[in-house]
Amino acid sequence: METVLVLDFGAQYSQLIARRVRECRVYSEMIPYDTPVDEIRAREPKGLILSGGPASVYADDALEINPEIFELGIPILGICYGMQVMAHTLGGEVTRTGKAEFGKTELSVTQEIVLFDDLPATQTCWMSHRDSVTTPPPGFEVTGTTASSPVAVMESTERKLYGIQCHPEVVHTPYGTDVLKNFLYEACDCVPSWTVVSIIEESVDAIRAQVGDEKVICGLSGGVDSSTAALLVYRAVRDNLTCIFVDHGLLRKNEATQVIDAFENHFHVPLIHIQAEERFQKKLDGVTEPEKKRKIIGEEFIRIFEEEARKLEGARFLVQGTLYSDVIESGTRDAAKIKSHHNVGGLPEDMDLDLVEPLRHIFKDEVRNVAAELGLPDNMVWRQPFPGPGLAIRIIGDVTFERLEILRDADFILQEEVRRAGLYRDLWQSFCVLPAIKSVGVMGDERTYAYPIIIRAVTSEDAMTADWARLPYDLLETVSSRIINEVPGVNRVALDISSKPPSTIEWE
């Protein structure tokens, strides 16, 4: 599989570069900036991309690159800080000019060599930097400038080294994807072969290589992630797979029935249904801290899976629908932890099971494409993401049976009205949140003291960033009216209008 690796220098959205490369149908993934050269060479990448980063190359704690990287003989593209560290390492000059560039900037292409081949001579790009390359390294040609950056693009076709100060990975650089394609197809000589079929074939081969003839269990939630992972593993090992659906009592209304029906009647995959509502509720009693909730739920899932594995003649592999975004948010060495995902950062250290995670290196949109190719029904392919800890992290405070029922009923109304308005597929997520507080209201001339419900709806491509959805006022009015009138214990509905960042999509 042809691969282009992204060396992560700590930019907030380095993974977006890998995502854009994949959209060009070339496989890509992030690795730490200081990955040993021998490890990189062993992976035989077709090219490297050096990401942006928050620091100056002259800072005391600046992230440096091993100069041997540039002797690998493969094409390398430096973006923003990646360009500056390339210039600094190879003998160019990087300067704090006092002319920072942030936002949309006009770029003048002075030569069409590789990166801007067949692209307009003047175009808009997105900048975010204070330092600038003022003198390129020996052997480089300046192929693009801006009013404040004398070296906005530099290229050494002989060494196949390229640098660009703007960010081609963001949508605010209209020709950014074309720049990446020129690097991938012309400089790296990549073939656009990263397709849905290739993802499935590679995954099935990897699963067979990992598990052999061993028995495998899959933690099935009914979401597109775990369902797709289950179908990939089933394709690889057939009857050696048993899916386990744990109803922890934190699901949405009627969800358990839908999951069981789909897998027993549509795919005919062996399925065990575990009813564990009281078990989870007992563990969560009195717990209010969100990270503790996630870890409790994550550990209890594992303990149940271990118990069931022992009953299945010693199955020792556990399939999970972990995504690349889950791994990043749960914290890697170069990415700060935002929150623990129960299937990553929430896992206990003392596990008896080895993990099989066929989706660990792909994004949600890629998962949906794979799911459709595998025949998953549309209502499951396009089911909005639902967290493994379920409604426990949508109740801000102690989780009780009463609050779960209130939240379940309110959320059911919201989903029903969003679908009726034809907006379900337009939204990344839409759901209700119940803070464990009460406020005064009036119903039928009488004072009430009841819970509020917060409506949360966002648009996004991959959950790494999200914007609050501008839902129509008449829809909001209908949802609010129905929730207050139909759900006992609620007397107020509010709307969350914060984006990610600075907020997260889920409240906990």
Dihedral pair phi/psi, residue 5, rounded to 5°: -95, 140
β-strand partners of 154: 142, 163
**284's torsion region: left (phi>0), alpha (psi -120 to 50) or beta?**
alpha
Question: So which residues are the catalytic ones?
Answer: 80, 167, 169
Strand intervals (E) in 141-186: 141-145, 153-156, 161-164
Could you give phi then psi for residue 335, rounded to 5 degrees? -130, 125
Listed in sequence order, the residues at least 6 apart from 68 whose beta carbon sits closer than 8 Å to its beta carbon are 37
Separation CA 441–CA 454 (nearest Å)? 16
Count of CB atoms situated within 10 Å of the CB of 44: 10
Contact 242, 270 (CB under 8 A): yes
Report the alpha-carbon distance of residue 328 to residue 15 in Å, rounded: 9
Given a contact cutoff of 8 angstroms between Cβ atoms, the answer to whether 243 and 305 are in contact is: no
Q: What sign results for the dihedral spanned by CA atoms 182, 186, 190, 195?
A: positive
Instruction: Tell me the residue type at 201.
Output: E
Report the candidate in 397, 384, 475 with the shortest Cα–Cα distance to residue 431.
Answer: 384
Structure tokens of 439? Answer: 């406020």
Residue 225, CA distances (Å) to 149, 322, 490 in order: 44, 7, 33
The partner residues of 135 in beta bridges, in order of sequence, read 93
Question: How many CB atoms are located within 10 Å of the residue 93 CB?
Answer: 13
CB 477 within 8 A of CB 495: no
Please give the structure tokens belonging to residue 260: 């069981």
Backbone angles phi, psi at 32, to 5 degrees: -60, 145
Calculate the alpha carbon distances from 193 to 262, 379, 478 in Å. 32, 28, 47
Locate all alpha helices (DSSP H) within 220-360, ordered by sequence. 224-237, 255-261, 277-284, 290-311, 324-329
Q: Give ∠ CA 323-326-330 in degrees, rounded to 5.
A: 150
